[in-house]
Structure 1
Amino acid sequence: MDERRAPGIGGLPRVRVGPPRWLTGAPGGPAARLPWVSTVLLGAVVLAGSAVAARVRPEGRLPLDPVARLLLLLAVAVLLLRHRYPVAAAYGSAVAATAYLAAGYPYGPVFLAVAVGCFGAVVAGHRRAAWAAVGLVWLGHVLVAHWLYRWLPPAGDRAAGWGQELGITAWVLALAAAAEFVRVRREQGADRRAERQAAERRRADEERLRMARELHDVLAHSISVINVQSNVGLALLDSDPEQARAALTAIKAASKEALGEVRQVLDTLRTPGDAPTAPAPGLDRLPELVEQAASTGLTVTVETDGVRRSVPPGADLAAFRIVQEALTNVVRHSGSRTARVRVGYRPDRIRLGIDDEGPATGTDAGGSGNGLAGMRERAAGLGGTIEAGPRTGGGFRVRAELPLPTGTSGPAAHQEEDP
């Protein structure tokens, strides 16, 4: 009986009676979790089969009496615990079966109970305990049938033939093979499930990283524009209201674009698998970047080397974000008011170059500091490369190469100079 105590009337403990925990499939779980149905069916088969064996082939064995039936029931009843306590169930069934055989009762399906107990222990991972239990039954039978039979009932019993031992040995080997087969299949299934779960976690991590990178690039660029324009607006609010109005207009446009792109990214989270409602940005939107940079006082010159052609969306988006992040860093960290962007189209790759003349301002312009890391991750995700660092003579330079899949090439000028 399982007693659970809780405060009752007047602070006295209140006792609630429920099924004992050792009888349930899990702590606090219902008793229905035990394998009642299969165990009851097995018990019926063992009792009925043993009764038939006692009538058909007595062979000088003792008839079934209450003690025999009790041992048979015990060999089966312990199997109720085979899911939670597989070792105890295997040993309990083996000991009861050995006692049944040693007492001189007729052979029958009592071995089936031992098989089920040891089978459950092997599948649960307790192989040594299972084979020790099977060995106990086998060794006990050998001792009783070939040596101890002189002192054990029934009186006048004779030694069993060795052919019978060969049959029992074959039964043990068949049980071992079946149990090992099921164990291996279960382990393989568990490994496959673990691999699928690991792959799902990797995909989820990659998707979260992609979302974080996309949101960083969108927000970093737009907020940098908003920060610069708000400073301009505050500085000119009294002296030049028209210029302040222009700065507020630029803030409105930048915030609207940022909200639209953030909404597009978040929509993929709400409806995974659906196509985005708007196309992802690409190099065809470079004029918009130039216009936004101009609103912050940065003059951007764009040069194209080769003829633009169809580019895979992933490479097009990565190229756009790399240019966007590089220009954002110029706005944030450079004292230069000019920048140059070069885009080179090749049959198998896109080359990008973004330069400014510096010098670095050395001030904290905000941001997470992950811009360069994000650019490198985007390039590496496509199998490309990126280099970023100070230029000789001052300023900062970003160089990137993004490979294109075979079949995306089209007519282009094949100049080989670096952009």
Structure 2
Amino acid sequence: MRGEARPIRHAEEGAAGAAAYAGGMAPGAVPRLRLRPPRGRAADAALACGVFVLVAVGTLRSLIGERQESWPATVLGWTLITAACAALYFCRRRPVVVAAFVLAATAVYYLVSVYDGPLMVAFVVTLYVVASQGHLQAAIALAALTVIATGIGTVAGNDDVNGVAVFMLTGWLVGVVALGWVRHNRLALAREVEERAATEERLRIARELHDVVGHHLSLINVQSAAALRRLHKNPAKGEQSAQEALGAIKDTSREALRELRATLGVLRQVDETAPTAPPAGLDRLGELVASARLAGLDVRVRFSGERERLPTEVDLAAYRIIQESLTNVNRHAHATAVTVRIHRGARQVTVEITDNGHGPAAADGTTPGSGIRGMRERAHALGGELTAGPGPDGGFTVRGRIPYTNGARSPS
């Protein structure tokens, strides 16, 4: 078992080579040059060629100088070197199979060759790739097999390897497996964070589109239905009301198109002209109330607390909660009056919308659409809360609380 001794000398060299490859890229490496590193199959080929050059340079003494073995043994050794290094081209696609093959080729090489070439580097690289791709048990099994085989050679009388050398080999292999597993966890965490961010962004976009399009289309539906009903009941007197409703429909549809274009412009990520209208917020509550009144609702607004302007995200969330609540009243509540209360405290803003209707709204968000669920998600995203249910005096009440810090206020 003389051959098991030689991997010891190249463990440190192999660890350095493994750290230079993780799925084609170095773990945590920052390129100093602005040259684009090879990717995909090119990276696999570069790895195989690089390791082959390293091993070949370390084994050149088998071809020059005084002969210590027969030429057939030398040819067999170089064949094993070439096969092991060429297998690295497939390492990322079949990591466990390639690592097992390279380990077998390396073991045979050290058993039949007199020359102490650094072929152990190839196995260390494959061991790192196996661990970095999530095959932790396979990596541990291959490393343990290597240590056991080397230990058996030592016990059998291999004078080149002692207990200290076996211990050092164990440490190097454990370190390589640990580094590969750490990289695997980092990549998995990065993918999870990216997926979570994409999901949150999709939910945010869905809420925006629901609030903008749903509110305006609901008003258009209510206003057009009211105009038709008045014309049907009294064509002579209903003409003026129909004209007012059509004007409101025109304004509402124009506003819906403007906000929809702004939202789609953000999604397209193009350099478009910034919208000239102010962003949605409580400063535009008057427009929202006027639209609801045109739909036949008696809307009253009550302000209390501080008058300083809210942070942008809090201001938008409060506005959208009021907007969606008024939309739900128009759709489901069969109400005639709505009271909107807004209280700005030192650390939070509270909005409460109460109607006198008897619609089928439910606090669990099971009403048609997803309005209540979207409002609740908006509040929760900013650390607040939202409740919705029957009011104490009848009707339906939506109450949202959104916290913020004093330093978060934008200038008035």
TM-score by length of 2: 0.74
Distance change in 2, residues 1:320/1:119 (3 Å): same
| Larger deviation, residues 120-129 vs 249-258 | 120-129
Larger radius of gyration: 1
Aligned match for 1:64, one of 64, 69, 72: 69
**Given the alignment, which residue of 67, 73, 79 partners 2:78?**
73
Q: Which residue of structure 2 lines up, in the alignment, with residue 384 of structure 1?
A: 384
Distance 1:276 1:315 in 2: 22
CA distance in 2, matches of 1:289, 1:352: 15
Give 1:86 shift. Answer: 1.4
Give 1:165's aligned amino acid: V
Partner of 1:216: 210
Distance in 2 separating the partners of 1:407 and 1:137: 65
Kept after mapping to 2: 8 A contact 1:347/1:409? no
In structure 2, how many angstroms separate the alpha carbons of the residues matched to 1:263 and 1:301?
31
The question of whether the paired residues in 1 share the 8 Å contact of 2:298 and 2:338 is answered with: yes
Query: 1:9 matched to which residue of 2?
Result: none
Alignment match, 1:324: 323
What is the SS of the residue equivalent to 1:343? strand
- Asked if 1 retains the 8 angstrom alpha-carbon contact of 2:127 and 2:177, the reply is yes
Counterpart amino acid of residue 291 in structure 2: Q
- TM-score between the two structures when normalised by the length of structure 1: 0.73
Larger relative contact order (CA 8 Å, sep ≥ 6)? 2
Please list, as runs of the form range in 1=range in 2, the aligned pairs for 1:294-373 lying within 5 A after superposition. Answer: 294-360=293-359, 368-373=368-373
Q: Which residue of 1 aligns with 2:176?
A: 182
Name the count of aligned residue pairs: 345
Amino acid paired to 2:388: A
The change in CA–CA distance for 1:139 and 1:361 in structure 2 (over 3 A counts) is closer
- Offset from partner CA, 1:330-359 (integer Å, 9 cap, x none): 111122211111111222221222111113
Gap regions ≥5 residues in structure 2: 1-23, 25-40, 132-138, 362-366
Q: What letter matches 2:397 in structure 1? A: R
Q: In structure 2, the residue corresponding to 1:218 is in which secondary structure?
A: helix
Per-residue deviation, 1:34:
7.6
Describe the shift of the 1:381–1:68 C-alpha distance in structure 2 as closer, same or farther (beyond 3 A): same
For 1:253 and 1:262, how far apart are their aligned partners in 2?
A: 14
Say whether residues 1:48 and 2:61 are aligned partners: yes
Return the structure number with greater helix share: 2
Name stretches of at least 5 consecutive residues in structure 1 with no aligned partner. 1-24, 56-62, 101-106, 147-159, 411-419
Distance 1:49 1:273 in 2: 65
Q: Would the aligned equivalents of 1:334 and 1:359 in 2 still touch at CA under 8 Å?
A: yes
CA contact (8 A) 2:143 2:173 kept: no
Indicate the SS of the match to 1:35. Answer: helix
**For residue 192 of structure 2, what is the aligned residue in structure 1?**
198
Give SS of 1:300's match: strand
Cα displacement string for residues 86-124 of structure 1 (whole angstroms, at most 9, x for unaligned residues): 101211221232134xxxxxx4324x22x2243234322
8 Å CA contact 1:98–1:141 kept in 2: the answer is: no
Deviation per CA, 1:35-58: give whole Å up to 9, x if none: 145325523532425754x56xxx
Question: Could you list the per-position Cα deviations for residues 134-180 of structure 1 after superposition, in whole angstroms to 9, with x for gaps in the alignment?
Answer: 6446645764xx5xxxxxxxxxxxxx8x5x433xx555544443343
**SS of the residue aligned with 1:225?**
helix
TM-superposed deviation, 1:76: 1.1
1:303–1:341: 8 Å Cα contact kept in structure 2?
A: yes
Q: Measure how far apart 1:192 and its partner are.
A: 1.8
For structure 1, which segment, 326-335 or 208-217, has the greater mean C-alpha deviation from structure 2 after superposition? 326-335
CA RMSD of aligned residues (A): 3.2
TM-superposed CA distance for 1:368, in Å, is: 4.5
1:132 is matched with 145
Instruction: Report the CA distance between 1:32 and its aligned residue.
Output: 4.8
Q: Conserved in 2, the CA contact under 8 Å of 1:78 and 1:93? A: no
Q: Which residue of 2 aligns with 1:255?
A: 253
Shift of the alpha carbon at 1:370? Answer: 0.9
Deviation sequence 1:290-312 (CA, Å, 0-9, x none):
11011111111111123421210
